[in-house]
Copies of this chain bind each other. A is one copy, B any other.
Amino acid sequence: MGGDHAPRAPIAGALLALAELPAQHHIQLIGRSAPVTAELDALLSDEFAAYAPHRSRISIVDAPDVIEMTDKPTVALRGKQQSSMVIGLRRVVEGLADGFISAGNTGAQMAASTVLLKLHPGLTRPAIGTIFPTARQPVLMLDAGANVDCSAEELVQFARIGDVYARHLLGRTSPAVGLLSIGEEAEKGNAVVKEAHQLLRKADLNFIGNIEGRDIPNGECEGSPLDVIVCDGFVGNVLLKFYESVAPMLIGMVARSAGLDADTVTRSLKHLDVDEYGGAPLLGVRGVSIISHGSSSPRALKNAIRMAVTASESGMNEEIGRRLSAAASHTA
C-alpha cells in the first residue's frame, strides 16, 4: 500500500520480478486484499497479460491498516498493527518470508524493522546503505540518513557493514573503504571523523583513508576505484538528496542548451539509472528489509525485489552479524 504509485507499481514490479526470477521464488503482496486483488487482475487482463503464467507464484496477504506517508513512525507502529509494514516484517521474523520490500513510509519501515527484526549485537541503530552511480562503478555510501549524530565507533561499524555489503551484493573482492572528510590527510576532518580515521587504520578492512566530496562522482580516489563511502547520516542524507536533485537539473540544462529531450538523454545514461538498484537495504537488522523510494517505478521495485533475493541468498545479514561480533570480541 506504500509509495506514490501504490498498489499499481509494487504489483507491476512483482510481476516483472517473477518473470526474471527462477520458478522457486514466490511473492506475497501484503495490503488491503480487495484493491490489491483488483489491481492485480486489471494488470493481468491488460498491460501484463503475458505475465499470467506467474499468477500462481503470487499470494495476497490481507493487511487492513495503512500507514500514511505523513504518519509518525512510532505512532503508526503502535496504532496500526495490521498494516502491511508490520505484517510483512512479522512474516520475515516467523520465517514465512525471506525478505521485505516497501516503498512506503521510510521512518516507519526503519522503526518496524528495528523493533521486529532486531539489530545485530553491538549496534544501536540500523544504517541505510545507498548506491551512488559514478563515472566508474557504483559505490555504496552509508549511512544515508538513519544516524545523524554518530560516534567514531559507529562509523567503523558502518565500514564493516559496508565491506560485507560490497562483497555480497556488489561482488567486490576486498572492497576499498573510504572515509568521507574534507582533506586526504589523517588530521583533516571533524573530531569524530579524525577519531574514526585512526580506528579504521587498525581495523581488518581495506581502508584507503580519507576521501573528499570530489572523489564521489568519479568513483575513485587518486586513480583507485572506490567501493564503500563511510559518513554519518546527516552528511550522507544531504549528499544523497543533493545528488538526486542535481543530476536532473544539470542534465535538463545540458539537454535544453543542446536542443535535446531531457528524458531521452536521461534514459541514455545507463550509468545514472537510479532504477537500476531500486532500493536501499536497511543494514544492521537481522533480516532483509529493502527501502524503496516513494516514487519508485515498477522497474525500480523489480530491482528492489531482486536485491532482496540476492541479500537473502548470499547470507549477507548473517555475515554482517559474524563480522560485528568478531570485531567486538577482538577489541574487548
Whether B215 contacts A245 by the Cβ 8 Å rule is yes
Q: Determine if A246 and B258 form an interchain contact, defined as CB atoms under 8 angstroms apart.
A: no
A237 to B265, CA, bound (A): 30
Q: Which residues of B contact A145 (CB under 8 A)?
A: 182
Q: Are B214 and A242 in contact (CB under 8 A)?
A: yes
Contact across chains for B243 and A246 when beta carbons are under 8 A apart: yes
Interface of A is mostly: helix
Partner of A212, one of B215, B241, B247, B250: B241
A218 at the interface (CB under 8 A from B): yes
Chain A 175-217 against B: per-residue CB contact (8 Å), 1 yes, 0 no? 0000011100000011101000000000000000000111111
A sample of 22 cross-chain residue pairs with beta-carbon separation below 8 angstroms, ordered by A number, consists of A148-B182, A148-B190, A182-B233, A182-B234, A182-B237, A212-B237, A212-B241, A213-B239, A213-B244, A213-B245, A215-B245, A216-B242, A235-B238, A239-B239, A246-B246, A250-B250, A250-B272, A255-B258, A257-B265, A257-B268, A257-B269, A258-B260
Given known contacts A193-B234, A247-B250, A258-B258, what 12 new A-B pairs fall within 8 Å (CB)?
A: A134-B249, A148-B189, A181-B238, A212-B237, A213-B237, A213-B242, A214-B242, A216-B246, A217-B249, A234-B235, A253-B269, A253-B271
